[in-house]
């Protein structure tokens, strides 16, 4: 009977109350349920859709020795939950759903038109109270992962960046970032998967985010009904693993020209310098006219293009730089020019207008990538899971406060030889440009 | 029990969705003194703003002979202004952290720029400068043309993109909607800076333009900035001539793409345009197909332009399986004609839900609003579309589906041979000299055959005799070519080298743009160079076939072919060429193409050549030859006038001719092009 009352109440509340608007794209209210589950609500009265997502502390870095691939296997088994067409109930109303497993977390999401919130909530809830995994389920998921591996199409730059992660974080789970999905060892059993689902994919360990068009009070009540009675489960603690020293490597790939990639291990997304690092990457290579482009492309004609970026994880990040080497350029000149351009910022702080340019680029990109309910849900959920309360909004505020001196300081801290990995990608055959 | 209840909730929620209207931004509209309409769609809290300027300067505004000019003109807006170079413009956008793109559709051209809200005024100033004061100098023009050439080159390597382009051409027929968005290489070569300037002058005008500002903006500030930067824009829009609406077509077409591993299958249906109240029914139809009626791995797209739309179901298939795939796709489309009520209701639900996802971003809001505005819908149309999806009658879809659509199969014809049996008569998508399966409309008599053989024999003799014609194995001719389009002339130099048995090079040079088409037996490529930048594109079988046709189209090869017994020449009536009486003789070329020669009654020389009639038997393309010169015992025409549909399209005069001389064999070594630079020859 309680099952019947829940959805009807939720639906009634959706139809009865107007939505509330909040001032910023990542503004949200937080509630912790009795079992420890955190509820983050970010309503937007002008949205036409609503996104509901669960965020679990269940990434590949939480796997123990011999468990490689378990995070993805278990996430897929939980998400499918025995259904032949898992997304059918969402697609029937024009919505969609998704599963993300990274090194740090697993997330299930459902995004639907504004007045199908109850269906979206039911969808994600069903994924956390599912059936026991069978050997057949495991075989299905392994086949799906292998199929995904076979169909995966990655650009040479994506493959090169995956190799750079491996060179920068050897011995750590982050070394597998960007690699093809792993179906795991055949020794993994349904019992392993279920143990993972019981602990790491438990509701009590999750953050649930709701973003978009919904009525907060009704939504919170519906979330309580769905999840608050579920038991509190202790999440096993995994000790951080120290990576080995970064490497220098050379790879041959089917590329027409040489690629020079240099990356630095950097602090994680929750570090106080995270915003400065983000701007530093944009200042170095966020556009063709940034520092690397000017040095390698415009001034010295050593590269066809040069870029930089920052990919942040919970325990650490990778600040990467890439030069697509000009056909007649000397390799050592390319690498030394790149390193010199990077080292310059630690010697001399960028001018204020340069910092402002990088800030505009980052803020603009962030703004345009945070427009939909799903995008805002992703930003808020990832921030809450990896950093803590209000992380997405604090990230915006921190970006606005960064100065040239901050860039100089963080460059001196991070862009050091001890944290540097280098990867040269060479064409597998001469004349591959055809 | 729980699952049943959950399903119930989903269904109940979905039904509720059809009746509710989300809080969409209310459009706020102002019209400037110059006629520019400014529309504001507020989206507070986002921190960003998107500016989208739309003018009715898409394909439907292109003059018939200037395919691709809309795209080229739009590209030029990114190449600098009278006060900013392209580099300065790019640097300013970079400093602002702003994006700036141009886009051309069947009905409109758009400039789209986005940035943080704080940069609104600067972005508006930049957009205004680009639209009002484009540079249009030669350097900008060549750069824009090079970019379009690069895009065309990339597309030529993508069978899927080629098939998408061809199905639109087949469904829309001669309507401007059927043209390729970027034109083609031939039209690009013929395009001039003046044409682009003229197109801009006539169509990029404020009185028919709309500027939508969507995002986190203050209306007072936005309207003030718009007035400041756009009041200076002046001029009146010149409406293009009205064209009849496209008519629904059907049939099965084959496009040979030799050597590609997979075939592309497309079935296209002409739908009503957005201006038609019946259009939402096709959005429902698309959802019905996506909701489980399509075979696995098939897809459906719906493009709704103002006056007509195009629904395409598509799939990739192994060439040996195309017959099965065509049948499956046809069945899925046909199932729309008898959709059960429950399935129709489900499709309407899906359509309403999908609609909600099309209005989430500033860009989506702008684009959706502009599409409706272009179709003549009221400013508040976003708020009414959802209801239309729930109510629009579906009968029109059912009857259109019953009438059938156009089916296109693009892939390696050799591997698809026999796989299309039973699917209806197959037409071939023809380009240039591609094979043509049609024949003369009336049976040929023996008398005609005898007369035809005699005519060919006389023409062969008049041009030097068969031994002389057969002794020519290499020729190199350089012509000065005047291309005539819409009363304007463009002069080019064309060098054509023919090497028997199967090599051919044609180099066309206009200013600093050079296009070299090379046929080397079973392979070929187009090398396009502008200034010091190069693009190379491999030729597919269709293009190769076209080049083989050109290779065989000189007087030597034509007469050798006509004299062969298998050409089955026959007399095809009389005509007049340049006020002189002439006899016509028709034959089939070694490439399978129907060719018609006009033989001067007095001199017996060939004075006109026509090739490849339409399936309806119309000979639209005619070359008139005159001013014959003798070299190596053969009489060659030194002047040629080309007519398309009776209108002069080009004139050429031979400046140089070499016969059986040495040929630079490096021409047949494919260059390696790396980042726009020729690095080496293979």
Length of chain B: 682
* Strand-pair category, A207-212 with A96-101: unpaired
- Inspect the interface and report whether the beta carbons of A93 and B115 lie closer than 8 Å: no
Q: What is the mean pLDDT of each run of 10 residues along chain A (434 residues)?
A: 31 33 77 97 93 97 93 95 93 96 97 95 91 92 91 89 97 95 88 95 96 96 97 92 96 92 97 97 94 94 96 97 94 96 94 95 95 96 96 93 97 97 86 32
Tell me the ipTM for this assembly.
Answer: 0.89
- Chain B positions touching A289 (Cβ under 8 A) are 90-91, 94
Question: Dihedral through CA B126, CA B130, CA B133, CA B138, nearest 10?
Answer: 130
For the CA atoms of chain B, what is the radius of gyration? 28
- Judged by DSSP in three states, B669 sits in coil
Structure token digits, residue A400: 């606005």
CB pairs under 8 A between A and B: 188
Is the distance from CB of A51 to CB of A109 less than 8 angstroms? Answer: yes
Rounded Cα distance between A172 and A159, Å, is: 18
Q: What is the 3-state secondary structure (H, E, C) of chain A?
A: CHHHHHHHHHHHHHHHCCCCCCCCCCCCEEEECCCCCEEEEEECCCCCEEEEEEEECCCHHHCCCCCCCHHHHHHHHHHHCCCCCCCHHHHCCCCEEEEEECCCCEEEEEEEEHHHHHHHHHHHHHHHCCCCCCHHHHHHHHHHHHHHHHHCCCCHHHHHHHHHHHHHCCCCHHHHCCCCCCCCCCCCCHHHHHHHHHHCCCHHHCEEEEEECCCHHHHHHHHHHHHCCCCCCCCCCCCCCCCCCCCEEEEEECCCCCEEEEEEEECCCCCCCHHHHHHHHHHHHCCCCCHHHHHHHHHCCCEEEEEEEEEECCCCEEEEEEEEECCCCCHHHHHHHHHHHHHHHHHCCCCHHHHHHHHHHHHHHHHHCCCCHHHHHHHHHHHHHHCCCCHHHHHHHHHHHCCHHHHHHHHHHHCCHHHEEEEEEEECCCCCCC
Using an 8 Å CB-CB cutoff, list chain A residues near B673. 433
A151 interfacial to chain B (CB closer than 8 Å): no
CA B380 to chain centre: 34
Q: Evaluate whether B111 touches B52 at the Cβ level (below 8 Å).
A: yes
Within 8 A by CB and 6+ apart from A68, the residues are: A60, A182, A184, A185
Q: How far is B12 from chain A (nearest CA, A)?
A: 8
The burial of B474, by beta-carbon neighbours within 10 Å (0-12 exposed, 13-18 middle, 19 or more buried), is given as: middle
pLDDT tens-digit readout, B557-606: 999 999 998 899 999 999 999 889 999 999 988 877 889 999 999 999 99
For residue B634, the number of C-alpha atoms closer than 13 Å in the C-beta half-sphere is 25
The minimal CB distance from B359 to the residues A10, A48, A368 is found for: A48
pLDDT class of B440 with cuts at 50, 70, 90: low
Least confident of A201-205, B228-232, B612-616: B612-616
Q: Is residue B658 over pLDDT 70?
A: yes
- Looking at the complex, report in whole angstroms how far the Cα of residue B52 sits from the nearest Cα belonging to chain A: 15
Cβ–Cβ gap B675/A371 under 8 Å? no
Q: Is B333 helix (H, G, I), strand (E, B) or coil?
A: helix
| A92 CB within 8 Å of a chain B CB | yes
In the stretch 25-64 of chain A, residues with CB closer than 8 A to chain B read 25, 27, 44-49
Contact B5 A7 (CB under 8 A): yes
Through-space distance between the first and last CA atoms of chain A, rounded to whole angstroms: 67
Q: How far apart are the first and last CA of chain B?
A: 70
Per-residue pLDDT tens digits for B89-135? 999 999 999 999 999 999 999 999 999 999 999 999 999 999 999 99
Of B3, B96, B353, the CB nearest to A93: B353
Q: What residue in A sits closest to B6 (Cα-Cα)?
A: A122
Determine contact: A433 vs chain B, CB below 8 A.
yes
Contact A45 B23 (CB under 8 A): yes
Which of B558, B590, B588 is closest to B472 using CA atoms?
B558
Cβ(B402)–Cβ(B337) below 8 Å: yes
Q: pLDDT category, B681, cuts 50, 70, 90?
A: low
Contacts of A302 in chain B (CB under 8 A): none
Residue in A closest to B5 by C-alpha = A4
Give A 319-338 residues with CB within 8 A of chain B: 327
Distance of alpha carbon A7 from alpha carbon A13, whole angstroms: 10
In angstroms, the CA A156 to CA B674 distance is 16
């Amino acid at each position: 009977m309680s099952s019947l009352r829940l959805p009807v109440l939720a639906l009634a509340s959706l139809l009865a109350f107007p939505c509330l608007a909040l001032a910023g794209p990542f503004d949200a209210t937080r509630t912790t349920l009795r079992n420890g589950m955190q509820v983050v609500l970010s309503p937007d009265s002008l949205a036409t859709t609503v996104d509901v997502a669960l965020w679990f502390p269940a990434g590949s870095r939480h796997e123990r020795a011999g468990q490689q691939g378990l995070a993805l296997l278990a996430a897929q088994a939980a998400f499918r939950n025995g259904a032949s067409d898992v997304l059918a109930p969402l697609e029937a109303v024009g919505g969609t759903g998704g599963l993300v497993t990274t090194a740090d977390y697993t997330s299930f999401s459902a995004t639907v038109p504004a007045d199908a919130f109850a269906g979206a909530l039911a969808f994600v809830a069903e994924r956390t109270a599912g059936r026991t995994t069978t050997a057949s389920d495991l075989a299905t998921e392994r086949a799906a992962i292998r199929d995904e591996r076979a169909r995966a199409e990655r650009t040479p730059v994506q493959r090169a960046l995956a190799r750079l992660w491996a060179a920068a974080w050897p011995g750590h789970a982050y070394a597998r970032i960007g690699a093809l999905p792993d179906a795991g060892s055949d020794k993994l059993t349904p019992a392993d998967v279920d143990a993972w689902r019981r602990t790491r994919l438990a509701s009590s360990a999750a953050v649930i985010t709701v973003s978009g068009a919904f009525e907060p009070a009704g939504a919170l009540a519906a979330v309580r009904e769905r999840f608050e009675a579920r038991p509190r489960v202790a999440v096993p603690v995994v000790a951080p693993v120290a990576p080995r020293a970064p490497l220098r490597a050379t790879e041959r790939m089917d590329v027409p020209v040489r690629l020079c990639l240099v990356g630095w291990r950097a602090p994680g997304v929750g570090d106080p310098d995270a915003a400065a690092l983000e701007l530093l990457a944009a200042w170095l290579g966020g556009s063709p006219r940034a520092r690397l482009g000017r040095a390698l492309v415009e001034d010295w004609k050593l590269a066809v293009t040069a870029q930089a970026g920052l990919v942040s994880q919970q325990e650490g990040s990778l600040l990467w730089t890439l030069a697509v080497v000009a056909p007649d350029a000397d390799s050592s000149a390319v690498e030394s020019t790149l390193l010199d351009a990077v080292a310059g910022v630690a010697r001399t702080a960028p001018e204020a207008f340069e910092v402002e340019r990088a800030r505009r680029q980052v803020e603009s990109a962030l703004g345009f990538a945070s427009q939909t309910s799903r995008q805002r849900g992703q930003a808020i959920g990832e921030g809450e899971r990896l950093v803590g309360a209000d992380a997405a909004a604090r990230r915006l505020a921190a970006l606005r406060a960064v100065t040239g001196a901050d860039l100089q300081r963080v460059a001196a801290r991070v862009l050091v030889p001890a944290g540097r990995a280098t990867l040269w990608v060479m064409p597998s055959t001469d004349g591959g440009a055809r | 029990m729980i699952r049943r209840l959950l399903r119930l909730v989903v269904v109940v929620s979905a039904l509720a969705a059809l009746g509710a209207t989300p809080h969409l931004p209310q459009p706020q509209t102002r019209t400037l003194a110059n006629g520019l309409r400014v529309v504001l769609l507020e989206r507070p809290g986002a921190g960003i703003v998107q500016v989208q300027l739309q003018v009715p300067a898409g394909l439907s505004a292109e003059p018939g002979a200037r395919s691709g000019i809309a795209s080229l003109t739009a590209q030029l807006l990114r190449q600098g202004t009278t006060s900013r170079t392209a580099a300065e413009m790019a640097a300013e956008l970079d400093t602002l952290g702003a994006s700036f793109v141009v886009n051309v559709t069947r009905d409109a051209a758009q400039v789209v720029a986005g940035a943080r809200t704080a940069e609104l005024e600067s972005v508006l100033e930049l957009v205004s400068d680009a639209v009002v004061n484009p540079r249009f100098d030669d350097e900008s023009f060549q750069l824009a043309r090079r970019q379009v050439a690069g895009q065309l080159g990339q597309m030529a390597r993508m069978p899927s993109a080629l098939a998408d382009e061809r199905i639109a051409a087949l469904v829309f027929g001669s309507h401007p909607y059927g043209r390729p968005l970027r034109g083609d290489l031939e039209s690009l070569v013929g395009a001039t800076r003046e044409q682009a300037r003229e197109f801009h002058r006539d169509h990029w005008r404020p009185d028919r333009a709309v500027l939508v500002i969507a995002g986190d903006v203050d209306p007072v500030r936005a309207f003030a900035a718009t007035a400041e930067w756009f009041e200076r824009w002046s001029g009146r829009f010149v409406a293009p001539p009205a064209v009849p609406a496209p008519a629904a077509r059907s049939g099965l077409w084959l496009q040979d793409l030799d050597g590609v591993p997979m075939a592309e299958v497309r079935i296209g249906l002409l739908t009503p345009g957005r201006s038609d109240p019946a259009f939402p029914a096709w959005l429902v139809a698309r959802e019905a197909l996506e909701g489980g009626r399509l075979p696995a791995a098939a897809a459906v797209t719906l493009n709704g332009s103002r006056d007509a739309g195009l629904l395409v179901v598509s799939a990739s298939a192994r060439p040996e399986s195309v017959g099965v795939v065509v049948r499956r796709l046809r069945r899925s489309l046909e199932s729309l004609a008898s959709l059960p009520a429950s399935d129709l209701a489900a499709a309407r639900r899906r359509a309403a839900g999908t609609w909600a996802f099309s209005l989430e971003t500033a860009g989506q809001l702008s684009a959706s609003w502009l599409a409706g505005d272009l179709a003549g819908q009221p400013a508040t149309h976003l708020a009414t579309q959802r209801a239309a999806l729930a109510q629009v009658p579906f009968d029109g879809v059912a009857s259109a589906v019953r009438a059938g659509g156009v089916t296109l199969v693009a892939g390696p014809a050799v591997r698809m041979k026999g796989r299309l049996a039973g699917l209806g008569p197959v037409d071939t998508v023809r380009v240039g000299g591609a094979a043509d399966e049609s024949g003369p409309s009336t049976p040929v008599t023996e008398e005609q055959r005898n007369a035809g053989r005699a005519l060919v024999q006389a023409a062969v003799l008049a041009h030097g005799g068969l031994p002389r014609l057969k002794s020519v194995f290499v020729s190199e001719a350089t012509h000065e070519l005047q291309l005539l389009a819409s009363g304007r002339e463009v002069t080019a130099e064309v060098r054509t080298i023919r090497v028997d048995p199967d090599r051919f090079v044609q180099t066309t040079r206009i200013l600093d743009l050079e296009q070299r088409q090379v046929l080397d037996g079973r392979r070929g490529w187009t090398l396009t160079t502008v200034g010091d930048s190069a693009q190379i594109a491999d030729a597919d079988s269709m293009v190769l076939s076209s080049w083989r046709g050109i290779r065989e189209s000189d007087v030597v090869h034509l007469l050798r072919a006509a004299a062969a017994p298998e050409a089955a020449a026959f007399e095809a009536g009389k005509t007049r060429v340049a006020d002189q009486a002439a006899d016509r003789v028709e034959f089939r070329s070694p490439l399978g193409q129907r060719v018609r020669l006009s033989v001067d009654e007095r001199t017996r020389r060939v004075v006109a050549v026509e090739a490849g009639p339409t399936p309806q038997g119309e000979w639209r393309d005619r070359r008139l030859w005159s001013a014959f010169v003798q070299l190596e015992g053969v009489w060659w025409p030194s002047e040629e006038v080309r007519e398309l549909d009776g209108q002069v399209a080009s004139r050429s005069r031979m400046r140089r001719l070499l016969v059986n001389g040495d040929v630079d064999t490096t021409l047949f070594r494919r260059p390696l092009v790396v980042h726009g630079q020729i690095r080496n020859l293979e």
